[in-house]
Amino acid sequence: MISSSADSAAERAANVLVRPVSLGSLALRNRLAMAPMTRQFSPGGVPGADVAAYYARRAAGGVGLIITEGTYVGHDSAGTSDSVPRFHGEDALTGWAGVADAVHRAGAAIVPQLWHVGMARTAGAPPVPEAPRAGPSGVPLDESAPGRAMTSADIDDVIAAFAAGAASAEARGFDGIELHGAHGYLIDQFLWARTNRRDDAYGGDLASRSRFAAEIAAACRAAVSPEFPIVFRMSQWKLGAYQARIAETPQELEVVLAPLAEAGVDAFHCSTRRYWLPEFEGSDLNLAGWAKKLSGKAAISVGSVGLGTEFITMHRDERGDVTDIDRLLDRMERDEFDVVAIGRALLADPDWAAKTLSGRTGELNPYDPKSLGTLY
């Protein structure tokens, strides 16, 4: 029997999280999304029936939106593994169409995350071993060797690859796309002054460093129907550089957001390590809250939801409290952001959404990286 306090908590969660919400023209059944998480379970870059089952299982578990793991766009230097799915080529796209169909049959919407790793690529790695490591200035994020600075032709080719991915997503029955502009990958490398040292129109001040991202968004918008949603994922932190910042102030953040919104981005997916921390001094708003306020667009927040501690610690030695989302509900009640993306908590328990919305939080499985194994 569920206690009255549990009933009250479930009612509050349902009232907050099942309110109508849209990302652009895409209406979602609730405000819970599955965050993109790389799995490397697609041999040759082709998602199979197991991938469809994995995503459909989370859709059946109650989330409103599935955001797929990062998928490589059709550019030779885009990837660094032959087990990460790609979003080009008839074999891979046919596999993805099956994934989209399975998710839709389970009741959720789905968008693929389109990805180019840039200088995060390992030299000589598949899927195209001979492809160069390339980025805005060839500057690595770590202590590895420099790569190649992208030429104007390279930039044009990458923009075209993202646009082709967007068109393929619409043609294969997806509900929108997400552009991976976070965590130190290619688009983010253009945004970040440390990795973008160009002296042409794509480098220099923050407005110029934002041009590449905006041109990708504009090309994707031109390649799809006007109502087809485009989500842009962004972060301040990078892999291996957790204190990095693109924008030191709200005014600087607006310099990045404004051209993206003008180019056709419908929503901003803001990745933080701890969703409850304020982004700038003088306000409690997190990054997603600021993105919504400054752009007028919908915003998705993500960062250690349902873990009880942030994910880097979780991978070292701790299991988290998966039941405490009061701080999250506080923020969503005041419409700081519109949707929350769930990552590792949803890996641990595919029914996280259904259990949370129905007051069965005592049944939630905690995230434990030592016991997850292969996920379906």
What is the set of active-site residues? 185
Q: Cβ(89)–Cβ(74) under 8 Å?
A: yes
Residue 122 one-letter amino acid: T
CB within 8 A of 213, min separation 6: which ones? Answer: 179, 181, 187, 190, 191, 232, 256, 259, 260
CB within 8 A of 168, min separation 6: which ones? Answer: 87, 88, 93
Q: Please, what is the end-to-end C-alpha distance for the chain in angstroms?
A: 30
Q: Cβ(93)–Cβ(87) under 8 Å?
A: yes
Convert 42-57 into a string of H (helix), E (strand) and C (coil).
CHHHCCCHHHHHHHHH
User: How many residues in total does the chain contain?
Assistant: 376
Q: How far apart are CA 57 and CA 248, in angstroms?
A: 40
The SS3 call for residue 23 is: strand
